[in-house]
Amino acid sequence: MKKKILVTGGAGFLGSHLCERLLNEGHDVVCLDNYFTGQKQNVVHLLKNPYFEIIRHDVTTPFFIEVDEIFNLACPASPIHYQYNPIKTMKTSVMGAINMLGLAKRIKAKVLQASTSEVYGDPKIHPQTEAYWGNVNPIGERACYDEGKRAAETLFVNYHKQNNVRIKIIRIFNTYGPRMHPNDGRVVSNFIVQALKGNDISIYGDGNQTRSFCYVDDLIDGMIRMMNSRDSFTGPVNIGNPGEFTIRELAEKVIQLTNSSSKIIYQPLPSDDPMQRKPDITLAQKELGWEPKVQLEEGLIKTIEFFKSVI
Ligand code: NAD
Ligand code: UDP
């Protein structure tokens, strides 16, 4: 059945892949974005599809439309961008959630929140299950993002309990792939761009901190499965790749796959940078029949090809 679907943050990295996938499935897609970190270029190839529309709008102000489903992705995701204007970041998460939940309530739409592994902060249990409450510094550099996303989860759960809004919450772990912004500042894009340009590879700290990297196609598959799951399953559910790598291992892999002569340099670790991150995906496997298929090397090769074409 053809559905009318709103994607906030649709011109960003994940949003543009989501819009493309939903259009390919035959849906009518409205992409809403204020272009803070997203770009028209990410979705311009979709404009020839008559079932695709883009609207410039900021989610901190109310928006009116009739749709069946809402994917709420609007929010800068890279630390340099979300720390650029921390008050705005928090407004985007909190007021954006209130506006999208209010819309969903009024038009009886189903609404999915793109939450994050950052709700676990610098985790004291490993790997992270959805039952873990997290270890977040409420006044640190990352708080505008982490606490904003945590407050958004609270709002989602309470609109569900109080107003019967059909909600879905996914906690996304570090995701990478084509259409990441080359200056986005996240580790995968930074390392690939540095390696391709022959610049030094900047490891923050000693490089022993870990992350688990999910390829974008797998992530989008998990996100759509969550939206289509039974109404009583609201989440939160972890969506990420359990393969865990140190940042030094990632740097070495990128150097090897790009055949680069770049050297690794060590720079100060930003404050509150989590030491480890790995999703327990048992719940996603059970409820959504989902697990990632693309392993790190295969995903990095595709991502390197993309960056070769844009830099
Ligand atoms: P991105 O920065 O590429 O995309 C975010 C999009 O939201 C951009 O197009 C931006 O212009 C738009 N936006 C920001 N503020 C807005 C506002 N006030 N009004 C309207 N649009 C606004 O980031 P991404 O990686 O595509 O992340 C998408 C979502 O997924 C975010 O909510 C992010 O928190 C979440 N997430 C991503 C990751 C990841 O690894 N990529 C991990 C965890 C969570
Ligand atoms: N990082 C790094 N060099 C870079 C960018 C990031 O060593 O050029 C590190 C960063 O300190 C963190 C990890 O890589 O430990 C992942 O950083 P990213 O900003 O991609 O995501 P997040 O910290 O939000 O998981």
Query: What pLDDT, on a 0 to 100 scale, did the predictor assign at position 187?
Result: 98
Mean pLDDT (10-residue bins), the chain, 311 residues:
97 98 98 97 97 98 98 97 97 98 98 98 96 97 98 98 98 98 95 98 98 98 98 98 98 98 97 96 98 98 97 87
145 is catalytic: yes
Query: What pLDDT, on a 0 to 100 scale, did the predictor assign at position 173?
Result: 98
Query: Which backbone phi and psi does 285 adopt, to 5 degrees?
Result: -65, -45
Query: What pLDDT, on a 0 to 100 scale, did the predictor assign at position 16?
Result: 98
Q: Is the CB of 20 under 6 A from ligand 1?
A: no
Q: Is the CB of 93 under 6 A from ligand 1?
A: no
Active-site residue, from 82, 120, 145, 159: 145
Distance 131 CA to ligand 1 centre (A): 25
Residue among 146, 191, 204, 206 whose CB has most ligand 2 atoms within 8 A, to mutate: 204
The reported pTM is: 0.98
Residue among 176, 183, 188, 247 whose CB has most ligand 2 atoms within 8 A, to mutate: 247
Specify the residue with its C-alpha closest to ligand 1, atom 13.
74
Query: What pLDDT, on a 0 to 100 scale, did the predictor assign at position 311?
Result: 87
Domains delineated in the chain: 4-176+215-242+278-294 (3.40.50.720)
Neighbours of 253 (CB within 10 A): 15
The single residue listed with the structure tokens 């954006």 is: 96
Specify the residue with its C-alpha closest to ligand 1, atom 15.
75
Cα 20 to Cα 14, 39, 97, distances in angstroms: 10, 15, 23
200: left (phi over 0), alpha (psi -120 to 50) or beta: beta
Q: Is the CB of 14 under 6 A from ligand 1?
A: yes
Q: Measure the CA–CA gap between 68 and 111, rounded to whole angstroms.
A: 9
Query: What pLDDT, on a 0 to 100 scale, did the predictor assign at position 67?
Result: 98
